[in-house]
Amino acid sequence: MQPEIYSKQVADIAACQVILLDERGVDALKTERIPSEVIAFLNEFSGSKEDFDFVKTGKQWIFVAKVKSHSEKNRMYGYQVRKKLEKAVEEIEITGAEGAAIEVAEGLALANYQFLKYRSDRQEKEFSLRKIAVLDGNEKEIEIVNNTIRAVYWSRDLVNEPHSYLTATQLSKEIEEKLAPVGVHVTVLEKHQIESLKLGGLIAVNLGSEEPPTFSVIEYKPDAAVNKQPVVLVGKGIVYDTGGLSLKPTAHSMDIMKSDMGGAACMVGTMMSVALNKLPVHVICIIPATDNRPGKNAYAPGDVITMYNGKTVEVKNTDAEGRMVLADALSYGDKYSPELVIDAATLTGAAVRAIGTRAACVMGNAAQEVIDNLVAAGNEVHERLVQLPFWDEYAEEMKSDIADLNNLGGPYAGMITAGKFLEHFTKNPYIHIDIAGPAFLEAEDGYRGKGGTGTGVRLLTRFLANYTDGK
């Protein structure tokens, strides 16, 4: 359960506490809010070389940390608190170092996430933490953090759901159920509409499946938007990926393929966060969704597919399916004349091999200032981006002998050639984010946890919060 962060003016000295010391040390604290027996512990800690420590006095936990304003380390202190805190603790207070306290609370709340839906012992395993009080916290900042964390939790839930539950149809239902109540308009196109529109890439990938595809168009349009034309977000919604007829080589490589819709989870989570935070930005989100199976009349290597925008694609590998569905969505987005298009996808193993799981790859033909702003937003929330070159020479590998394009390049720089493939399908300033590394983790990494991380939601929320027309 997501704990509520809230501002509090009067301390409860008997509560579990996180006490933050900045460069001013103990002297900066309002010591009347701290039990007298704790002051000696704080003074000793202040003079030590340690950055984080804790003590338990009776039923009360006291955590203490040395902080700096606007630091990722502060969020990680929140994670450390969660690791040490007893499961049964229901509320904790954070005091001191006002600029850092909300970041500590954010890390603690993100670290409190659990996916226990399918556990028979979930009542025994569930954390009891329900409230995080920030002494004299900025209520507006706290509201934004709570809203954004709510969206991250939902994004994580979607990625963690097995395909036995989260089919393309169920994904579209989840989107409607979660977003319609927060003021977002959702239109779901079903199979017959997809076929009527000739969304060729999505149709082709879906041919091997028993489950129908969906194509969700989601719009948030505030009354006084800062942008004259919308920002279009596109997320890859492959709810399960076997590789199709180009079957993945090992069982392990399919183990986590329920997470291949991490791009869709990122983008719909962003839409929730944007709406909850009432950001003054007109945003349209498009989610093409299907699984990729080798059954029925599955599309095959050598096939030529006519895409939504009329371009033809020679299929070299059916496991390069994400770009096929994204391409149709990008072309569909042209109808809105967007001033900026951003997609997010768990697209290539090449991205993981290049930079690992601690960052995502970003590239595109949008103005460098816009990409710089996106990178800066990622640095602020510590969802970091590594910009890769986007030179036209990389597109040479995507040329086909018998069609307009191949859907697969050569053995090198696959994350860039994939981006260059997608560039052919939008006429507007374009940014591609490959989140294959950080979207799903097989081992716990701080407050990002294990499993679905919700990566990209906090990044894009910050970017759109800072957004001005065209930038």
pLDDT of residue 228: 95
Tens digit of each residue's pLDDT (9 = 90 or more) over 256-277: 999 999 999 999 999 999 999 9
248 is catalytic: yes
- For residues 181 and 40, membership in a common domain is answered with no
- For residues 389 and 251, membership in a common domain is answered with yes
Asked if residue 160 is part of any domain, the answer here is yes
CB 251 within 8 A of CB 219: no
Tens digit of each residue's pLDDT (9 = 90 or more) over 87-130: 999 999 999 887 799 999 999 999 999 999 999 999 999 999 99
Radius of gyration of the chain (CA): 23
Asked if residue 385 is part of any domain, the answer here is yes
pLDDT of residue 40: 84
* CATH at 29: 3.40.220.10
CB 459 within 8 A of CB 383: yes
Tens digit of each residue's pLDDT (9 = 90 or more) over 122-154: 999 999 999 999 999 999 999 999 999 999 999
- For residues 347 and 423, membership in a common domain is answered with yes
Asked if residue 295 is part of any domain, the answer here is yes
* CATH at 428: 3.40.630.10
Tens digit of each residue's pLDDT (9 = 90 or more) over 202-256: 999 999 999 999 999 999 999 999 999 999 999 999 999 999 999 998 878 899 9
> Which of 137, 167, 191 represents a domain boundary (last residue)?
137
Q: Which of 150, 323, 448, 462 is catalytic?
A: 323
- For residues 277 and 185, membership in a common domain is answered with yes
66 is catalytic: no
**CA pair distance 150, 182, nearest whole angstrom:** 12
- For residues 25 and 89, membership in a common domain is answered with yes
pLDDT of residue 33: 66
**CA pair distance 115, 113, nearest whole angstrom:** 7
> Which of 112, 137, 162 represents a domain boundary (last residue)?
137
For residue 91, what are the domain limits? 4-137
CB 244 within 8 A of CB 208: yes
> Which of 137, 160, 175 represents a domain boundary (last residue)?
137
- For residues 220 and 132, membership in a common domain is answered with no
- For residues 126 and 170, membership in a common domain is answered with no
- For residues 128 and 185, membership in a common domain is answered with no
- For residues 338 and 276, membership in a common domain is answered with yes
Q: Which of 130, 131, 198, 248 is catalytic?
A: 248
* Total number of domains in the chain: 2
Averaged pLDDT for residues 430-457: 98
State the average pLDDT for the chain: 95
Q: At what angle do helices 98-111 and 139-160 cross, to 10 degrees?
A: 20
